[in-house]
Structure 1
Amino acid sequence: MPDFPAFSAGPDLRELVLGSEGRLGIITEVKVRVSPLPQRERFQVVFFPNWAQGRDACRELAQQRVQLSMLRLSNAEETRTQLALAGHERAIRWLQQALALRGADTEKCMMTFGVTGSSVQCRSALLQARRRTAGTGAGYKRCA
């Protein structure tokens, strides 16, 4: 920390509270959990025509306790940005056209989910996720 205050009124109290490990306290104990690398790790992307349908699908997956290791729903702006930064312009252009035909155009949202575990666990979780999002206008893309 600097020797002089950040403001003329004294130190910034936000700096003392936010991220205070080492400033206001000392870490005396840490628990670390180590687990082996999974046999398989798969990621898939699902596109939805709009935020509401994507949100409902995420809720359904969570409520049905589908064994996902990761779940992220990107809004329309973030989806556009990620597609623009993906490279592969020709493939992305084709994907955009295919999604537009399915009703996922300017307001489309992208849900990314991952599964980890044995081959059987991954296959089971992927099938459950597909079943739970069927009929939502979703379009799938396998990532890995």
Structure 2
Amino acid sequence: MPWAWWNGEDKAWHVPFRSFYELRRRWPAIEAAAERSDPEARRQRREAAKSTAEDEDAKAAETERRRRRYPVPASELPLDRVLMSHEGPLVVVEVTGELVPMETAARHHPWSSGLPDDLVWALWWRATHEELVKACELRS
């Protein structure tokens, strides 16, 4: 909104009179956003989303993410180097040797479906800044 500003002390938006017509034009969208943000409305949406197929898929994906494992080809084990993944830059710390079930790979790692090699689980952590710098130095 033109000429409006946020006052952190008051925790309020200040809208000058010259923006009055713009405020009136945008008011229905502001009101709808306020209704969606109401704690009771948010609680009702959370309750309605429980036990849906999308909710179950989201829970399964989050559980898989918490396991901190990533499928890697058995022939190319990326130990002690930064691996770029859909999760971001990862450092593989251990390869378990356990084969990745095809249904798990297809559900949570769809990019792996066309690989000709068997996949095994690799345990990872997020790459630190120093590890990223080291990886860049090794590439050049």
Pick the TM interval, shorter chain: under 0.3
Give the structure-1-normalised TM-score.
0.25
- Structure showing greater radius of gyration is 2
Give the structure-2-normalised TM-score.
0.26
Greater fraction helix? 2
Greater fraction strand? 2
